[in-house]
Amino acid sequence: MEKLRVLSIFGTRPEAVKMAPLVKTLSASPLVDSLVCITAQHREMLDSVLGIFDITPDYDLDIMTKDQDLAQITTRALNGLMGVIADAKPDLVLVHGDTTTTMAASLAAVYAKLPLGHVEAGLRTHEKFAPFPEEINRRIVGVCADLHFAPTWTARDNLFSENVRGDTIYVTGNTEIDAAASLTRPSYRFKEGILNELDFAGKRIITMTAHRRENHGKPLEDICRAVLRIAQDFEDVHIVYPVHLSPAVQDVAYKILGNHPRVHLTDPVDVGDLQILWQGHILCLLILVGCKRVLRITMYLWWFCEM
């Protein structure tokens, strides 16, 4: 029996985390010839995930450049992926989520007239620029895809509302849960040294991320000032903020939060460290900042600190 040749394409750390369990499963199947292509839209952060999950790409486009913009990412990824697809000759292309790499890979699959599977399909805000550019990316991928792997029933319903055929939609859950389960182990020691010094039993720990493009500038400044006020008002709270490598994020975060002793700014932590920070036995709140309004974030923070 001839194997099904599957080409999985991703380019950022979040994509790699969520695709890793799937890639490992495909690689172990005797029925599948699994190939991996990375665009390296994010270089350093992506490489750390590949190392943790022991994934060696078959193709590495290495497209990342300093101060890259969306048009540059799109054109470099699309041109490179057309060449990869021509060489790999896959039977199916798999992409994840809503990144610019995912959108470019979907177009490349369509141009090559190949079937496309979309992992984490059906997420929608129905607002063109929120999140930006992900909402447009995911809609484009939705039109291109032949197989839609939705993480939730709500995502499935979103696809139904767009007249996607029901027999092409599969509700699978979120593969990040599989990634977290594979990394959890007892007696874990954080690779980021400062995290090992925190008193998780006696203090309240807030773990936050804040890096979305639509929050660059004043929205991110407002978020950081709100977080600073939390640290100033509640002496038993420590805040862990792995700061995205983007200069637009680094400059603001270190300017506003860099001098408070209970706000711990670190480089982006690897997937193992972050997953353990999320575990239920550690009191923490993850703030995924993707909304336009600071009020929502500060409301959740205040609720946490008043507990």
Distance between CA atoms of 67 and 243, rounded to whole angstroms? 17
What size, in residues, is the chain?
307
Rounded Cα distance, 265 and 206, in Å: 12
- Residue 98 annotated as catalytic: yes
Q: Which of 60, 134, 135, 176 is catalytic?
A: 134
- To the nearest 10 degrees (0 to 180), the angle between helices 247-257 and 218-233 is 30
Distance of alpha carbon 72 from its chain centroid, rounded? 20
Choice among 5, 124, 213, 262 that is catalytic: 213
Enclosing H/E stretch for 298? helix 294-305
- Nearest 10 degrees: Cα torsion 216, 217, 220, 224: 140
Q: Is 211 a catalytic residue?
A: yes
Q: Which listed residue (15, 60, 98, 176) is catalytic?
A: 98
- The C-alpha atoms of residue 156 and residue 145 are separated, in whole angstroms, by 14
Q: How far is CA 213 from CA 44, 133, 227, 271, in A?
A: 19, 8, 19, 22
Q: Which of 42, 43, 96, 120 is catalytic?
A: 120
- The DSSP symbol for 184 reads -
Catalytic member of 13, 211, 212, 264? 211
Distance CA 219, CA 238 (A): 22
Q: Is 285 exposed, middle or buried (0-12, 13-18, 19+ CB in 10 A)?
A: middle
Catalytic residue check, 216: no
Pairing verdict, β 4-10 and 32-38: parallel
Q: Is 156 a catalytic residue?
A: no
- Active-site residue list: 98, 120, 134, 211, 213, 244
